[in-house]
Structure 1
Amino acid sequence: MSWSTPEPLRRYLTDLVAVAGEVLGAELGGAYVAGSVGLAAYQPGRSDVDVALICAGPLDHGVAGELVARLRHEALPCPARGLELVVYQQKVARSGTPEPGFEVELNTGARMDFRVSYGPAQRPSADGLFWYGLDRSILHQSGRALLGPPAADAFADLAPDDLRRLVLDALRWWLARSVPAGEVPAPGAEDAVLGACRSWVRLRTGMWLPKVAAGRRLLDEAGPLVDADTTELVERSIAARDGGPPPTGAAARAFQRRVLADLAGTPA
């Protein structure tokens, strides 16, 4: 790991790869960190750790279960809010498919609900099946290799039409399930706003950016989408990530709708 990471996280990722190697052996073809770490925007105390493992072929259920048992927080304590781990077969990672296609998904951490799924069939569609294709797109652009070839070689990006569809699906999902539309500051509203900014920036500029950088990029480049209220909303959302008051739920949801309408080409 040659990039800048806090020492506890560096040790954790080293240990995670070692455990994965012990469990998977020669089947382990790569280990990659994405999300805020890959995008150089990790915030201790706030960020999750997103890790993708690549295996040569389908995982035996017993092996998958052992991997989960040894990587869950109770066995290997995560220094971040939590670990979001996904295991893909090599052929899926390199396919550019928009389908979920994972072998194992594990969420675990001191401040994260434990969850494990052994394949997409165990993932409720209401929880969103767009995450995986988008995550692999981010890995292709900004993933950091802990083991194996560069992430740009290990993960194929999505085709433009598939990327656009999944980004719009994600925006609709967040709009349906995000912060309540009240007129009071709503914790989490800042991430709803900045997540919408990141979606806008990816489709309009071709780049995945961290949420804060995406918010600033939108203010610089979104033209008619940006007015005084939008500027105040985005700036407040950025400040909220460092402890300031979040925006109201009503303002966040109105902004999400405007971004979705802009990207979908429909009236707001």
Structure 2
Amino acid sequence: MTGSLVDPESIPTELRAYLAELVRRTRAVCGPYLVNIFAVGSLALDDYRHGRSDVDVTVVVDPAFQQNAVIELAESLTDLACPASGLELVLYDADFIGAPTDRAGYRLNLNTGPLLPYQASFDSSRSQAFWYVIDRAVGYQAGRLLYGRPVRQVVAAPSRTDQLVCVLASIREHAHGAGHLADNRVLNACRSTVFCRTNQWFAKRVAAQSIADSEPAFRPLIDRALHSFARPRSDALGLPEADVQRFLSWVQDSVERTMRGEDVPTMPSAR
């Protein structure tokens, strides 16, 4: 069952059969137009948590791949039962993903699974680009190959400037809170802050621990977010919204300072 995966032993046991079948179906639909398939998100950063994490997958095809076949692929993968919280799959043309860009640019954005609202979008012009740029950056840095050509032979890294712009957009999105778990808002903000400091993408829990250590004023909030993140998505804890907003405001200021080339001061104490 796992023979179609490049390195099945590197995949969490709960996902091996599912990802092997995802690869098989994608190969069957895409045929010779398939360039590669790789995982981003928690799978790429070695932080997949069963019952909490999504499966984030990128598919790259030759630009000659027909749109009716893109729709067929979406239908085929929608019928495949996802054992994780959900599947977030994005399909790109090879010429698009092979050049640095700040656009969303996908041909398919598919969300499906037990805890995700279903979506099959074929028009990237209506989507907020920042999620896709960040995922491509993570893919270039640490993408876990599932099938085909090595990731760095296919994916171009977005520029640091574009990544910072997208980080800022993501923080502003999380400040609104709609549709996002409170713990994920906090942990994504920690990851964004660590990226500003290191120019590297880290797993949420690793980044959160780094910020909790360097910013003790926010440690209680981050510790509670980590405690919540260890629970199933359906059993996540609430966080004090005022504390979340205060943290996100500090992170946004830190990102803006980084974009201006300024040093980011630490937070001295809780108010």
Q: Which residues of 2 match residues 155-174 of structure 1 at below 5 A?
A: 155-174=155-174
Shift of 1:3: 4.7
For 1:262 and 1:29, locate their aligned partners in 2 and report how far apart those are by CA, in whole Å.
38
In the TM superposition, residue 248 of structure 1 has moved relative to its aligned partner by: 1.2
In the aligned structure 2, how far is the partner of 1:130 from the partner of 1:12? 28
Post-superposition offset of 1:188: 2.0
CA, structure 1 residues 68+233, in 2 after alignment: closer, same or farther (shift >3 Å)? same
4+ residue stretches of structure 1 with deviation over 4 A?
none
The answer for the alignment partner of 1:76 in structure 2 is 80
**Structure 1 residue 65, shift from structure 2 partner:** 1.1
Q: How does 1:226-241 map to 2 (within 5 A)?
A: 226-228=215-217, 230-241=218-229
CA offset at residue 61 of structure 1? 2.4
Tell me if 1:51 matches 2:36: no
Q: Deviation string for 1:204-232 (max 9, x for gaps)? A: 111111111110122334xxxx233x011
Query: Which residue does the alignment assign to 2:119?
Result: 115
Q: What corresponds to 1:20 in structure 2?
A: 26
Q: Does 1:103 align with 2:107?
A: yes
Residue 257 (structure 1) aligns with: 249
Number of aligned residue pairs: give it: 250
- Distance in 2, Cα, partners of 1:58 & 1:169: 33
**TM-score normalised according to structure 1 size:** 0.87
Distance 1:150 1:13 in 2: 17
Alpha carbons 2:213, 2:219 under 8 Å: kept: no
- Residues 45-72 of structure 1: CA deviation (Å, up to 9, x unaligned): 1110000000011542211111011000
Q: Contact (CA 8 Å) 1:236, 1:247: kept in 2 or not? A: yes
Q: CA deviation at 1:150?
A: 2.1
Share of identical aligned residues, percent? 32
Amino acid at match of 1:234: I
8 Å CA contact 1:59–1:103 kept in 2: the answer is: no
Q: Using the TM superposition, give the Cα deviation of residue 193 of structure 1 relative to its aligned residue in structure 2, in angstroms.
A: 0.8
Q: Residue 141 of structure 1 corresponds to which residue in structure 2? A: 141
Q: Is the 8 A contact 1:137 1:157 kept in 2?
A: yes
One-letter code of the match for 1:114? Y
Q: For residue 83 of structure 2, give the secondary structure of its aligned residue in structure 1.
A: coil
- State the AA in 1 paired with 2:19: L
Correspondence 1:152-231 to 2 at 5 A: 152-178=152-178, 188-221=181-214, 226-228=215-217, 230-231=218-219
Q: 8 Å contact 2:212–2:223 — kept in the other structure? A: no
Question: Structure 1 CA distance, aligned partners of 2:98 and 2:35?
Answer: 12
Distance in 2, matches of 1:245 and 1:76, equals 30
Aligned residues of 2:39 and 2:143 also touching (Cα < 8 A): yes
Q: 2:37 is paired with a residue of what secondary structure?
A: strand
Whether contact under 8 Å (2:51, 2:85) holds in the other structure is: yes
Q: Which runs of 5+ in 1 are unaligned?
A: 180-186
**Alpha-carbon distance between aligned partners in 1 of 2:8 and 2:116, rounded to the nearest angstrom:** 28
What is the alpha-carbon distance in structure 2 between the residues aligned to residue 177 and residue 213 of structure 1? Answer: 23
Superposed CA RMSD in Å reads 2.0
TM-score, normalisation: structure 2 = 0.86
Residue of 10, 13, 36 corresponding to 1:7: 13
